[in-house]
């Protein structure tokens, strides 16, 4: 089976592309390199005799998309390509709408016209807004406090509309929670993010630099230690979720949470990172950020029942693998 992986040189896409190759799939990666390093392709292709083909390009480029589908018989599409910074999305909402929503609209339209059978979409726990945890897929899309989350909810809507209109492709929407970790063999990891990235990236930076401190936004939430609680999920588990979703895709549109089902507070994450990796993290608790919610974790029962998926790696695996690629501060991506 030949699979087009958009955003396949990014963090989750690269781990998934490698897993697909190792399972014998033919993989075409389409990525505009807006948030990835071209060297990742070599690292993916160094691991297996089965090599991914790379097309440098943008999902907004309809002519290019049509050419890719004309030149290759593609059976399934895994669509990771998107901008993902909540902070940047608040500053530049139009950019997020164009890249994420219009990009997805163009891609799914062509997939429908080409009669592509399977389509898997990267959605996010952000679509639940402040719904009470554990959230199930039926929790409903809540009031979403940022343009990034709204772009994911809009994409979900237009995927459903397209399927309703064309009856193709069959669509699996995967709503991931907080993805972290890295390939345990040290081949792939999350690149440093232009906006400083997520909490794990900040922890790694503070631990690597051995100077400065980590700012924790909010110590007065209604949680046991006052800091926000999130559901951290290892990138290898998320990649495996995509392979299962592709293999078990059913007719219609189906939505699954990919989360561990366990909530970890910011202080617990820092504590675990220090214990597992033997490093110190200096931190200071400061005011809450607008738009942050206190608790978010998943009920992933549906993914277990229908895909046979559950998170196999835990928070200790996540902090160990996240830290080990950085080798105590030497960013191997440089
Ligand atoms: N990382 C997380 O915790 C998380 C959580 C929930 C959902 N997601 C979603 O999962 C997907 C992958 O996330 P990631 O963490 O791997 O992000 P990432 O930024 O590492 O990867 C995205 C990739 O898409 C590419 N890209 C972006 N816009 C493109 C475009 N218009 N055309 C072609 N390529 C484009 C980037 O260059 C990058 O390589 C995204 O859709 C993201 O919104 C991520």
Do 58 and 25 lie in a common domain? yes
Q: What is the pLDDT of residues 98-138, one digit of tens each?
A: 999 999 999 999 999 999 999 999 999 999 998 999 999 99
Do 203 and 158 lie in a common domain? no
Whether the per-residue pLDDT at 329 is higher than 50: the answer is no
Active site residues: 148
* Ligand 1 and 10: CB distance under 6 A: yes
Residue 190 lies in a domain: no
Strands (E), 20-164: 26-31, 53-56, 76-79, 118-124
Mean pLDDT on 294-299: 97
Q: Which atom of ligand 1 is nearest to the CA of 198?
A: 3
Owning domain of residue 250: 2-180+233-261
- The answer to whether residues 8 and 14 touch, using CB atoms and an 8 Å cutoff, is yes
The pTM assigned to this predicted structure is: 0.96
Q: What is the pLDDT of residues 37-72, one digit of tens each?
A: 999 999 999 999 999 999 999 999 999 999 999 999
* Ligand 1 and 148: CB distance under 6 A: no
Residue 13 lies in a domain: yes
Task: Check residue 328 and give its pLDDT.
Answer: 54
Whether the per-residue pLDDT at 272 is higher than 80: the answer is yes
Which of 4, 7, 236 most suits a substitution to test ligand 1, by most atoms within 8 Å of the C-beta? 7
Residue 84 lies in a domain: yes
* Ligand 1 and 151: CB distance under 6 A: no
Do 84 and 205 lie in a common domain? no
Which residues in 213-222 are b (16+ Cβ under 10 Å) and which e?
A: ebebbbbebe
- Nearest-CA residue for ligand 1 atom 35 is 81
Both structure tokens of 323: 């830290």
Whether the per-residue pLDDT at 163 is higher than 90: the answer is yes
* Ligand 1 and 221: CB distance under 6 A: no
Whole-number Å distance, alpha carbon 319 to ligand 1 midpoint, is: 21
Sign of the C-alpha dihedral computed for residues 40, 43, 47 and 51 taken in this order: positive
Task: Check residue 330 and give its pLDDT.
Answer: 44
Q: Which atom of ligand 1 is nearest to the CA of 99?
A: 31
Do 137 and 46 lie in a common domain? yes
Whether the per-residue pLDDT at 244 is higher than 50: the answer is yes
* Ligand 1 and 261: CB distance under 6 A: no
Specify the number of domains making up the chain. Answer: 2
Task: Check residue 261 and give its pLDDT.
Answer: 97
Both structure tokens of 259: 């989360």
Do 246 and 225 lie in a common domain? no
Q: What is the pLDDT of residues 135-153, one digit of tens each?
A: 999 997 778 889 999 999 9
- Nearest-CA residue for ligand 1 atom 4 is 179
Q: Which of 175-179, 271-275, 289-293 has the lowest mean pLDDT?
A: 289-293
* Ligand 1 and 322: CB distance under 6 A: no
Q: For residue 323, give the CATH number of its domain.
A: 3.90.25.10
* Ligand 1 and 85: CB distance under 6 A: no
Whether the per-residue pLDDT at 13 is higher than 50: the answer is yes
Q: What is the pLDDT of residues 16-32, one digit of tens each?
A: 999 999 999 999 999 99
Do 82 and 61 lie in a common domain? yes
226, exposed or middle or buried, with CB in 10 Å at 0-12, 13-18, 19+?
A: middle
Do 157 and 168 lie in a common domain? yes
Task: Check residue 325 and give its pLDDT.
Answer: 78
Of the candidates 31, 144, 160, the residue with the CA atom closest to the CA atom of residue 135: 144
- The answer to whether residues 175 and 257 touch, using CB atoms and an 8 Å cutoff, is yes
Residue 333: CB atoms within 10 Å: 12
Mean pLDDT on 210-220: 89
Do 25 and 85 lie in a common domain? yes
Do 10 and 114 lie in a common domain? yes
- Nearest-CA residue for ligand 1 atom 42 is 84
Task: Check residue 145 and give its pLDDT.
Answer: 86
Q: What is the pLDDT of residues 74-100, one digit of tens each?
A: 999 999 999 999 989 999 999 999 999
Q: For residue 59, give the CATH number of its domain.
A: 3.40.50.720
Residue 187 lies in a domain: no
Chain centroid to CA 94? 21
Tell me, letter by letter, the H, E, C secondary structure of 198-257: CHHHHHHHHHHHCCCCEEEECCCCCCCCCCCEECEEEHHHHHHHHHHHHHCCCCCEEEEE
Do 142 and 216 lie in a common domain? no
pLDDT band at 332 (very low <50, low <70, confident <90, very high): very low
In angstroms, the CA 167 to CA 123 distance is: 21
pLDDT band at 334 (very low <50, low <70, confident <90, very high): very low
Do 290 and 241 lie in a common domain? no
Residue 83 lies in a domain: yes
* Ligand 1 and 232: CB distance under 6 A: no
- The answer to whether residues 169 and 113 touch, using CB atoms and an 8 Å cutoff, is no
Mean pLDDT on 171-179: 98
Quote the mean pLDDT of the chain: 94
- Nearest-CA residue for ligand 1 atom 12 is 80
Whole-number Å distance, alpha carbon 163 to ligand 1 midpoint, is: 23
Do 127 and 256 lie in a common domain? yes
Whole-number Å distance, alpha carbon 82 to ligand 1 midpoint, is: 4
């Amino acid at each position: 089976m030949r699979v087009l992986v958009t955003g396949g040189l990014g963090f989750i896409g690269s781990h998934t592309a490698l897993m697909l190759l190792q399972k014998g799939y033919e993989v075409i990666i389409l990525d505009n390199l807006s948030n990835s390093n071209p060297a990742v392709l070599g690292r993916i292709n160094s691991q297996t005799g089965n090599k991914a083909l790379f097309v440098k390009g943008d999902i907004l480029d309809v002519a290019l998309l049509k050419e890719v589908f004309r030149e290759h018989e593609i059976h399934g599409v895994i669509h990771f390509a998107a901008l993902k910074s909540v902070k940047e999305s608040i500053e530049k909402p139009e950019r997020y709408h164009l890249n994420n929503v219009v990009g997805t609209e163009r891609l799914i339209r062509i997939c429908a016209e080409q009669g592509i059978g399977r389509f898997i979409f990267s959605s996010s726990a952000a679509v639940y807004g402040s719904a009470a945890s554990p959230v199930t897929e039926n929790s409903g899309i809540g009031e979403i406090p940022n343009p990034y989350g709204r772009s994911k909810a809009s994409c979900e809507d237009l995927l459903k509309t397209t399927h309703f209109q064309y009856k193709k492709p069959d669509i699996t929407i995967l709503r991931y929670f907080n993805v972290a970790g890295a390939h345990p063999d040290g081949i792939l990891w999350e690149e440093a993010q232009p906006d400083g990235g997520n909490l794990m990236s900040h922890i790694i930076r503070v631990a690597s630099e051995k100077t400065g401190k980590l700012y924790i936004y909010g110590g007065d939430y209604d949680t046991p230690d006052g800091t926000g609680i999130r559901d951290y999920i290892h990138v290898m588990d998320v990649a495996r979720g995509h392979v299962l979703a592709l293999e078990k895709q059913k007719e219609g549109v189906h939505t699954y949470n990919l989360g561990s089902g366990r909530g970890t507070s910011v202080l617990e994450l820092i504590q675990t990172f220090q214990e597992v990796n033997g490093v110190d993290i200096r931190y200071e608790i400061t005011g809450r950020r607008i738009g942050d919610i206190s608790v978010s974790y998943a009920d992933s029962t549906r993914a277990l029942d229908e895909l046979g998926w559950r998170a196999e790696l835990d928070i200790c695996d996540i902090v160990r693998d996240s830290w080990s690629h950085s080798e105590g501060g030497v960013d191997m991506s440089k």
